[in-house]
Amino acid sequence: MKLGILKTDAVREEWVTDFGEYPDMFAALLGARDPEMEFVTYDVRLNEYPEDIDEVDAYLMTGSRHSVYDDLPWIAPLMDFVRELDGRRKKLVGICFGHQLIAQALGGKTEKAEAGWGVGMHYHRFSVRPDWFDDGDLEFPILVTHQDQVTANAPGAEVLASSDFCPNAVCQIGEHILTLQGHPEFVNDYSRAIMEFRREIITEPVYQSGIASLAQQPATERMAQWILRFLKR
């Protein structure tokens, strides 16, 4: 399978040596479990898109420091591309910003959440078992870093998993779009680096709670397998 990664942000320069860029994180997450998978990166901030939508088998949109409602010149074309992918029923996975932008592009709404910042390890719980799910626990730990949330889902979207903090944590549209608010590609040290960088912004109590939550590990293996099974169905 060839996966097109829609890159919507860059990792801070001082962190790249330790963690790589966002496409590298997804290549590590998915490629380690499927060595035959190929990855192609399109930096949509630079208006990089495939010449032919079918030159890859599926797409994945990364997270970003930006908000989907920011007045940036590359966001509207990206929404248009999402609508084209949806119309063609092309497989698409959205992560964090990607999760939010897909909802916004297809008729939902993303905005700053009244709950404030979510950081560190959160627990999301499935309310239904989609056909790509496994036989494990319905609750799973995942690293998050977001202030925005999907507050109104796109028409036809099904909420698969949620938490008290994030009601729309994992969503699916038809058989071709899967979105997650959390970051299956993150590791604890990267989450820690982001929290330390944003310590004043997220407030001290949120920072302390987020750092303490890193005593746990995310369900990386399960999440990678879910995404792979979804893409290959």
Under a CB-based contact definition with an 8 Å cutoff, are residues 162 and 124 in contact? yes
Residues 6+ away with beta carbon under 8 Å from 169: 124, 159, 161, 162, 163, 180, 181, 182
Question: What's residue 104's pLDDT?
Answer: 98
Distance between CA atoms of 80 and 88, rounded to whole angstroms? 12
Under a CB-based contact definition with an 8 Å cutoff, are residues 150 and 108 in contact? yes
Find residue 94's DSSP bridge partners: 61, 179
In DSSP notation, 132-148 reads T--SS-SEEEEEEEESE
Under a CB-based contact definition with an 8 Å cutoff, are residues 82 and 110 in contact? no
Distance between CA atoms of 52 and 49, rounded to whole angstroms? 9
pTM, to two decimals: 0.97
In DSSP notation, 97-124 reads HHHHHHHHHTT-EEEE-TT--EEEEEEE
What parts of the chain have a pLDDT lower than 50? none
For residue 221 the two structure tokens come to 């293996």
Report all structural domains of the chain as residue ranges with CATH numbers, in order of start. 2-114+148-186+218-232 (3.40.50.880)
Question: What's residue 160's pLDDT?
Answer: 98
